[in-house]
Amino acid sequence: GRQMVYGQADYKGKLRSLAASLDVVAHEFFHGVTESTAQLVYEMESGALNESYSDIFGTLISNDAIKSVDGWNWLIGDGLSSGLVAFRSMKDPTLYDQPKHMRDYRKLPNNSNGDWGGVHVNSGIHNHAAYLMMVSKRLGRFVFTPAEVAAIFYLTITQHLSRQSTFADSRRGAVLAARSLFRKLPPAQFTRKVGAVERAFTRVGVA
């Protein structure tokens, strides 16, 4: 718990530290948040959820200086290696061989060769739900600010999830967090925000 080592990759004939990518650094730091809160077991669906929460906050942090979500970069770890465009995409997980809907969830062996049940593979499903929340619009305006999305997911992982939680548990937690955060808003705004959370998860097949 005292040191993080990121390693290097070949970039145009030179070595580039993986720590050059803010989303990668934020991703790894958020694993520490998960370990200190929900402690999601690093295997199968809970492990994919563990990876997804790090991607979500990596994306939120790395795009923080960009005023409009319309201009956000949805790639994780892009620009680090000449041999790889990026590790993952929140917008379209299928670009990097990840599913983005539960009907395509991959049942892989729970060992190192199977990525501990596909923790880096199936995380694309939950990632895409988060993306859909972030870009959700009503009458041309975003339903959420990035800070509101961050608050929803932070409350979810710190208060509503436990070691073996699933994507469905994350949906329930996010809805509860939204209901708590926005409870004092006028009824129409409250319904709009809570409904946007529910629709995002429904669209990726998480009930």
Which among 93, 70, 76, 73 is positioned nearest to 23, based on CA atoms? 76
The per-type count for the chain, helices as H runs and strands as E runs, is: 7, 6
Residue 112: what are its φ and ψ, rounded to 5°?
-60, -35
Give 25-59 pLDDT, tens digit per residue: 999 999 999 999 999 999 999 999 999 999 999 99
Q: Quick one: tokens of 178?
A: 């939204």
Catalytic amino acids? 28, 120
At position 50, the amino acid (one-letter code) is N
Could you report the per-residue pLDDT of 82-122, keeping only the tens digit for each? 989 999 999 999 999 999 999 999 999 999 999 999 999 99
Phi, psi (degrees; rounded to nearest 5) at 137: -130, 155
Q: Is residue 1 pLDDT above 80, yes or no? A: no
Total-model pTM: 0.96
